[in-house]
Structure 1
Amino acid sequence: MQNTWSGVFPAISTQFNSDESLNIDATCNMVEQLIDDGIHGIIALGTVGENYALSATEKLQLLKALKQAINGRVPLLTGVAEITTAAAITYVQEAEAIGVDGLMVLPGLVYHSDQQEAITHFSRVAKATQLPVMIYNNPVSYGVDLGLDSMEQLAEIENIVAIKESTTDTRRISELYSRFGNRFNIFCGVDDIALESLLLGCNGWISGLTNVFPRESVALYNYAQSKQIEAARELYRWFMPLLRLDTIPKLVQCIKLAEQIMGRGSETVRAPRLPLEGAEREQVETLMREALATRPKIQSLKVA
């Protein structure tokens, strides 16, 4: 199965009303802005999208609306984050019927799988659909690391075409290319190692902070692709304090507060998550003030 995914794919937030009810229109409007800002694809219902907090019905309602709003302009992938393999299979088949362009599949949640259990989960889910599949490898969050030998087994399944690599160990990127060549499209899944990962050969970047600064994110990707190293380094240094927010437990609240400050969304999250308060809130607000005060003029820079 040929896969052409590349570029900057924001892992979008899911927008809620003040009473925590799902706000589909606001989510679609946010995606419209991101497309206007030049992003290359959309990941809905990932970690930042609070997948676990939506009912099955809400997830499908949102996917239908996003599919219609995007209208084929960029690929639409959905996160697959279910507790059981059977539930994941049901969900991917329903998502395929809606017409999404691909799947970003997580291990079964709650229970921490071992290697073979994770391989079995990914294999069964991938074989239950014709859609292209991205494996989300995040041992920090999900307790299992799909190493090279595991990926060797998954490489036998034709529609597993990509990896979201979130080990935080950039050496893994080179190891994957050395073992598999171009068998997989490899995406960086950790914001604060984005430039390093792109320079090591990642095809793209799945990002939370792109929701807040999409033009800067696309510029960073373009600089890396065109080997404009000095421009990339300068932009990355400006971006880094904010990119760090993607790596902490309250990343969803941090990103949604930053979106609200930029007028791109609401900070409302679903309980048990709560909006940031006190020192945590002040940290994000301070970082945003500093970032806006020193924000580079992307339009004046040469982007390939």
Structure 2
Amino acid sequence: MSSQKWAGVFPAVTTKFTADDRLDIAEMERCFKLQLDAGVHGLIVCGSLGEASTLEPAEKVEVLNTAIRVAGGSVPVLLTVVEGSTRRAQALAEAGAKAGADGFMILPGVPYKSDARETMAHYRAVAKSGGKPVMIYNNPVSYGVDITPAMLGELAADPLFVAVKESSDDVRRVTQIFNAVGDRFQVFTGVDNLALESLAVGAVGWVAGLVCAFPAETVAIYDLMRQGRLAEAVAIYRWFQPLLDLDVSSKLVQNIKLVEALATNSNDRCRAPRLPLVGEERARVEAIVAKALANRPQLPAAKIAAE
């Protein structure tokens, strides 16, 4: 599957656990299928929302295998590579490539805040080990490392780097990337409540979080924007906004898993040290979801042919 076709809605799917803290393969299969049935364009596993920091390497490969099996080649499946050392990241990329990942979404070597030289060396080494197309994940807000447009200009010399997930929380960065490197990369927005704004200025994809609970609405916004049907997209986006805000939080995992539980009859089990929301935090999310479900918009016919 050509990386040049990477565009559209790519859910950063959650990792499901059983009551005894094992991987819940059956529930992941069900939830991944809900995404595919709604028309998403790719799947990204084992990211921040997928609780990567709590997963063992073998578990990451098992989650990847589950997504590949459910996708059946219909959409690309990307494995997130986020490790504290370049060496461990290389090993995971090699394992992911062997398991059949279509590509990788790579993060800096967190939690260390690398400088530009170190960051680019990390990306080049991990990409070479995986040997598959790479989406560069830029999230200076959460990880303290900013992959600037100038750095992207240097990384552009390596054909393995094909896309950028832009999560700097500044929609102006999308335009700055285009001004620096033209159309060299497929630019994805990675901030749920900046998605429509990013698509409006040229982003071709959306690495989404709340899509896990509301896939049809997420895909509809993307499709409508690609068709130039701005008013219809804005109407859905305004309804969606209180939910999308839950993605921009240190407890985005707990928030989104609770929304999933309420909207798709899943569960909100997390792996410790994360614990499901309780008290006022839980009540707040429940109220947001209840209002959203009570006012869920009727979606227009917005499917467009794959580009």
- Superposition TM-score, scaled by structure 2 size: 0.96
Tell me what 1:133 maps to.
134
Matches within 5 A, 1:236-275: 236-275=237-276
* Amino acid corresponding to residue 154 of structure 1 in structure 2: L
Tell me what 2:176 maps to.
175
1:69-113: CA deviation from partner (whole Å, max 9, x where unpaired): 211011100110111001000110110011111100001112121
Unmatched runs of 5 consecutive residues or more in structure 2: none
Aligned residues: 303
* Amino acid corresponding to residue 187 of structure 1 in structure 2: F
* Cα distance change, pair 212–157 in 1 and its aligned pair in 2 (3 A): same
RMSD: 1.2
Tell me what 1:209 maps to.
210
* Amino acid corresponding to residue 19 of structure 1 in structure 2: D
| SS in structure 2 of the partner of residue 128 of structure 1 | helix
Tell me what 1:25 maps to.
26
Matched, 1:37 2:20: no
Tell me what 1:279 maps to.
280
Give the Cα separation in 2 of the matches to 1:200 and 1:215.
Answer: 23
| Distance apart, 1:153 and its partner CA | 1.3
Unmatched runs of 5 consecutive residues or more in structure 1: none
Tell me what 1:82 maps to.
83
Which range moves more in the overlay, 191-200 or 28-37? 28-37
| Distance apart, 1:65 and its partner CA | 2.4
Q: Which runs of 4+ in 1 moved over 4 A?
A: 300-304
| SS in structure 2 of the partner of residue 168 of structure 1 | coil
Which range moves more in the overlay, 112-121 or 272-281? 112-121
> 2:28–2:66: 8 Å Cα contact kept in structure 1?
no
Aligned-residue sequence identity (percent) comes to 42
| Distance apart, 1:303 and its partner CA | 5.0
Give the Cα separation in 1 of the matches to 2:3 and 2:64.
Answer: 23
Matches within 5 A, 1:94-243: 94-243=95-244
| Distance apart, 1:40 and its partner CA | 0.8
| SS in structure 2 of the partner of residue 113 of structure 1 | coil
Give the Cα separation in 2 of the matches to 1:302 and 1:194.
Answer: 17
> 1:3–1:132: 8 Å Cα contact kept in structure 2?
no
* Amino acid corresponding to residue 3 of structure 1 in structure 2: Q
Give the Cα separation in 2 of the matches to 1:264 and 1:247.
Answer: 23
Give the Cα separation in 2 of the matches to 1:271 and 1:302.
Answer: 40
Give the Cα separation in 1 of the matches to 2:302 and 2:56.
Answer: 44
Which range moves more in the overlay, 258-267 or 27-36? 258-267
> 2:40–2:219: 8 Å Cα contact kept in structure 1?
yes
Give the Cα separation in 1 of the matches to 2:193 and 2:255.
Answer: 15
Matched, 1:64 2:90: no
* Cα distance change, pair 51–302 in 1 and its aligned pair in 2 (3 A): closer
1:2-55: CA deviation from partner (whole Å, max 9, x where unpaired): 521010011000000112211112111110111011111101001111011111
* Amino acid corresponding to residue 26 of structure 2 in structure 1: D
- Superposition TM-score, scaled by structure 1 size: 0.97
